[in-house]
A and B are shown apart, each in its own frame.
Chain A
Amino acid sequence: MAVTTNALPAAEVTRPRTVLVATMFASAAAFMAFAGVLVIYINERAAADEWFPAGVIELGPAGFVFATMILSVFTVQWAVQAINNDDRLNAYMALGLTGLFGAAVFNQLWFIINDTGFALAGSNAEFLFLLVNGVFLAFLISAVAFLTLTFLRALIGQYGPRKADGVAAAAFYWDTVVAMWSITWYVVYVAK
């Protein structure tokens, strides 16, 4: 006997993980925008006879940024785990700590940009170096803003074990930004 649609009971309308799904799409788009800039950097560097003069870019500060970003992956996942366990205090602390790591990275990157003394109009190398780091800073700021919003929403009780997808979404976007820096660190700073 053929099963007929109308003979069956009406299904519940579900809204599973809408924010998380949208964030995944948005993160993919953000990553591609960043990759668009980074690939042009790589392409122009491959075509150039000479790129940066030796010793202009130091590896140390960029390495500290990388280490900080790796640490932040653990703290942001700590926040997800804590909110799923309804451990609000730990969730607040983990979100706050991740945001603090973001601020530290901003500070260190600002130092790096000033330390190089590059100018936008200087050369293709200087222009693209500043652009890659500038675009990364923009995504970093947006990730910190996302975390702050999530922190505030968690604080007023909008997230909990039954509804934790907002925190998971913020963590996913944060991890995407960490991935951006990991690639930048290797391509721009290590393999310069």
Chain B
Amino acid sequence: MAGLYDALTTTDHKRIGRYWLRSGLLLLIGAVVLGVLLGIEGTDAESTDLFGGDNAYFQMWALYRIGLALLVAAPLLVGLATVVVPMQVGSTNIAFPRAALAAVWGFMLGAGITVVAVLAGGGFGAVDRVTNAERDAIALTLVGLGFVIVSLLLASLCLATTVISLRVKGMTLLRTPLFAWSILVTCSVWLLTLPVLLANLLIAYVDLHNGPGTFGGDASGSLAIYGQIAWVVEQPQVYAFAIPVLGILGSIVPVTAGVRAARHGLSAGLIGLFGLLAFGAWSQPYFQNDGAIPHDEKFLFIAFGLAALLPVLGAMGGAGDTLRRGGDAIVGLPAAHLVGALGGGILLLLGVVAGALRVIEPLELGGSTDQVEGIGTLAVSGVASLVLLAAIVAAVGGFWFWAAKIGGHELPPMLGRLALLDLIGGAVLLGGAQVVSGFFDTVNHPLAVPTEDIADTLAIVSLIGAVLIGLGALGVVAAIAKAVRTGATATDDPWGGHTLEWATVDGAFAEPPALVTSESPLLDDEGEDA
């Protein structure tokens, strides 16, 4: 009972962050299992029936897509940020710790309701129109997802306020460590866009029970509800879940290379630009008026898709330059956290390249007009898979990097490298095959029949990717379990870190942090130029 009481009343940001991380890991395992099952079904959807009918298949398919963003990538990043960001900005705790605790419990409740409601026949609509039997379960799914979004908003509020208000003296916004800065940008984008998703859910919910039936009720088609919320896992909004990838890259690479990152301000600017280009609440194909220009042929959509390449390329170039300058420090096998950071960066780059290809209208990756309206090709899912898995891979890299601060344990490096390589390889196969399928006009709908034979081969490649991702996720969980069981204690600063979190002892500042004069305060006392 004392443990439960502590869990419900703690105000320790490290503990709250660990709750987020455990939830995210548990849901990651669930998602990869679902991903493999969907992959098996996808290889021969006409004769395989793992889920018990088209409706259930559609519901699981939609859950996987929405869940990978909101139930897996988001909590992993929020958890990492809740542990690391307060320390990184020199604060003793997160702003509003009780609200942060309420957020994580609200998230668990919401995620549980969402998953159970889908398993009970709910989900985000029904293929053959919503019946009375399904209405309550669908409504419950919407309530569950609403809880998840409100919880993520509350956590974002706490994290953004921490970075704005609780920075130690001397740490201007431009001297804020890149991970903390990327979390501020991410939270700002979430706070401005996820409420719009909440509005979509509210309209669908009220319509489901009392409305005219246009937005989700029994008079509407199969994609009425999913179509209203799918924008959150499509470009540009899906990029909002991967903004911290650039922050993790910017935090890990200079420490691994053993040199101060050059052009910190430029890196922060690139992250800010990527955040701006990830703002996607305006891009909702469902509410596109008849006769108007399709949303994916509008100037703004094309401009956002192409411009998103710039900050990611810039950040990757900066990371490459930093590694080159610190070449002597990098010997032997790369550290697991470096594999995670670079792997996440490469996946994100692949994702934004695929996104840029999508907005080039002649390629028709967004879907030609004779296809199901507003759905697009499988390339839409490919972009989402690459970007969301980039976020997950970078977060896992962050586990290995900040393990000493998260749980005080040292995570096994070799198992980490293997798990991360599995995740990266699986993501490339899964997302890459989906993007290539788009070139062969495979429609982004689980029940669509591919028009080209090669789509079957690509579906098998996707399945192999899903299996690899599953193995990688299991490897991550096994590594963490092994570290906790063997109790290998990590030192307070195993990597020779540059930012304030590495000055903490057992996760707390032994004395108030000194005046900060650069973005790498722990390097300042070595007499290096700021």
Q: List residues of A whose CB falls within 8 A of some B CB.
A: 2-18, 21-22, 25-26, 28-30, 32-37, 39-40, 43-44, 46-47, 120-124, 126-128, 131, 135
Whether the Cβ atoms of A13 and B514 lie closer than 8 Å is no
What CA separation (Å) do A99 and B93 show in the bound complex?
34
Enumerate B205-222 residues with CB–CB distance to A below 8 Å: 206-207, 210-214
What A residues does B207 contact at CB under 8 A?
A: 127
Q: Closest A-chain residue to B156, C-beta based? A: A25
Q: How far does the Cβ of A31 sit from chain B's closest Cβ, in whole Å?
A: 8
Known: A5-B517, A15-B166, A28-B191. A127 touches B211 (CB 8 A): yes
Which of these, B203, B212, B512, contacts A121 with CB under 8 Å?
Answer: B212
Whether the Cβ atoms of A5 and B196 lie closer than 8 Å is no
Known: A25-B191, A127-B212. A18 touches B524 (CB 8 A): no
Known: A5-B524, A32-B195, A121-B211. A11 touches B206 (CB 8 A): no
Whether the Cβ atoms of B290 and A135 lie closer than 8 Å is no
B363: CB under 8 A from chain A? no
Q: How far does the Cβ of B313 sit from chain A's closest Cβ, in whole Å?
A: 30
Taking each of A5, A22, A26, which has the highest tally of chain B beta carbons within 10 Å of its own beta carbon?
A5
B157: CB under 8 A from chain A? yes
Which of these, B187, B195, B290, contacts A33 with CB under 8 Å?
Answer: B195
Whether the Cβ atoms of A9 and B287 lie closer than 8 Å is no
Whether the Cβ atoms of A11 and B514 lie closer than 8 Å is yes
What CA separation (Å) do A34 and B512 show in the bound complex?
42
Whether the Cβ atoms of B95 and A18 lie closer than 8 Å is yes
What CA separation (Å) do A131 and B210 show in the bound complex?
11
Known: A32-B193, A121-B212, A127-B207. A40 touches B287 (CB 8 A): yes
What A residues does B92 contact at CB under 8 A?
A: 13
B516: CB under 8 A from chain A? yes
B182: CB under 8 A from chain A? no
Whether the Cβ atoms of A6 and B195 lie closer than 8 Å is no
Q: Closest B-chain residue to A16, C-beta based? A: B165
Whether the Cβ atoms of A120 and B199 lie closer than 8 Å is no
Q: Closest A-chain residue to B206, C-beta based? A: A131
Whether the Cβ atoms of A13 and B191 lie closer than 8 Å is no
Which of these, B157, B164, B187, B517, contacts A3 with CB under 8 Å?
Answer: B517
Whether the Cβ atoms of B212 and A28 lie closer than 8 Å is no
What A residues does B90 contact at CB under 8 A?
A: 13
Q: Closest B-chain residue to A8, C-beta based? A: B515
Whether the Cβ atoms of A21 and B164 lie closer than 8 Å is yes
What CA separation (Å) do A4 and B529 show in the bound complex?
10
Whether the Cβ atoms of A36 and B514 lie closer than 8 Å is no
Whether the Cβ atoms of B203 and A29 lie closer than 8 Å is no
Ordered by A's residue number, 11 sampled pairs between the chains whose C-beta atoms are within 8 Å are A7-B525, A11-B513, A25-B160, A28-B192, A29-B153, A29-B194, A32-B192, A36-B198, A121-B212, A131-B206, A135-B202
Taking each of A4, A7, A12, A135, which has the highest tally of chain B beta carbons within 10 Å of its own beta carbon?
A4
What CA separation (Å) do A16 and B167 show in the bound complex?
10
Whether the Cβ atoms of A11 and B169 lie closer than 8 Å is yes
Q: Closest B-chain residue to A18, C-beta based? A: B165
B79: CB under 8 A from chain A? no
What CA separation (Å) do A8 and B200 show in the bound complex?
52
Whether the Cβ atoms of B153 and A3 lie closer than 8 Å is no
Whether the Cβ atoms of B170 and A11 lie closer than 8 Å is yes
What 4 pairs between A and B have smallest CB-CB spacing? A36-B199, A11-B169, A33-B195, A36-B196
What B residues does A122 contact at CB under 8 A?
A: 212
What CA separation (Å) do A30 and B522 show in the bound complex?
39
Whether the Cβ atoms of B166 and A12 lie closer than 8 Å is no
Enumerate B486-526 residues with CB–CB distance to A below 8 Å: 511-517, 521-522, 524-525
Known: A28-B191, A127-B211. A2 touches B529 (CB 8 A): yes
Whether the Cβ atoms of B210 and A120 lie closer than 8 Å is yes
B362: CB under 8 A from chain A? no
Known: A2-B524, A131-B202. A120 touches B193 (CB 8 A): no
Q: How far does the Cβ of A22 sit from chain B's closest Cβ, in whole Å?
A: 4
Whether the Cβ atoms of A3 and B210 lie closer than 8 Å is no
B224: CB under 8 A from chain A? no
What B residues does A43 contact at CB under 8 A?
A: 287, 289
Q: How far does the Cβ of A42 sit from chain B's closest Cβ, in whole Å?
A: 10
Q: How far does the Cβ of A44 sit from chain B's closest Cβ, in whole Å?
A: 8
Enumerate B143-173 residues with CB–CB distance to A below 8 Å: 153, 156-158, 160-161, 164-166, 168-170
- Extra pairs beyond A5-B522, A36-B195 (19, CB < 8 Å): A2-B524, A2-B527, A4-B525, A6-B524, A7-B525, A10-B515, A11-B516, A16-B165, A22-B161, A25-B157, A25-B160, A25-B187, A29-B157, A32-B281, A33-B196, A36-B197, A37-B203, A39-B287, A43-B289
What A residues does B517 contact at CB under 8 A?
A: 3, 5, 8
B331: CB under 8 A from chain A? no
Whether the Cβ atoms of B157 and A26 lie closer than 8 Å is yes
What B residues does A4 contact at CB under 8 A?
A: 524-525, 527
What CA separation (Å) do A35 and B161 show in the bound complex?
23
What CA separation (Å) do A145 and B22 show in the bound complex?
35
Whether the Cβ atoms of B211 and A33 lie closer than 8 Å is no
What B residues does A14 contact at CB under 8 A?
A: 169
Q: How far does the Cβ of A126 sit from chain B's closest Cβ, in whole Å?
A: 8
B82: CB under 8 A from chain A? no
What CA separation (Å) do A40 and B202 show in the bound complex?
12
Which of these, B191, B200, B202, B511, contacts A29 with CB under 8 Å?
Answer: B191
Q: Closest B-chain residue to A26, C-beta based? A: B157
What CA separation (Å) do A9 and B168 show in the bound complex?
13
B528: CB under 8 A from chain A? yes
Whether the Cβ atoms of B281 and A36 lie closer than 8 Å is yes
B530: CB under 8 A from chain A? yes
What CA separation (Å) do A8 and B525 show in the bound complex?
10
What B residues does A40 contact at CB under 8 A?
A: 199-200, 203, 287
Whether the Cβ atoms of B289 and A13 lie closer than 8 Å is no
What A residues does B160 contact at CB under 8 A?
A: 21, 25
What A residues does B214 contact at CB under 8 A?
A: 124, 127
What A residues does B198 contact at CB under 8 A?
A: 33, 36
What B residues does A16 contact at CB under 8 A?
A: 165
What B residues does A6 contact at CB under 8 A?
A: 514, 524-525
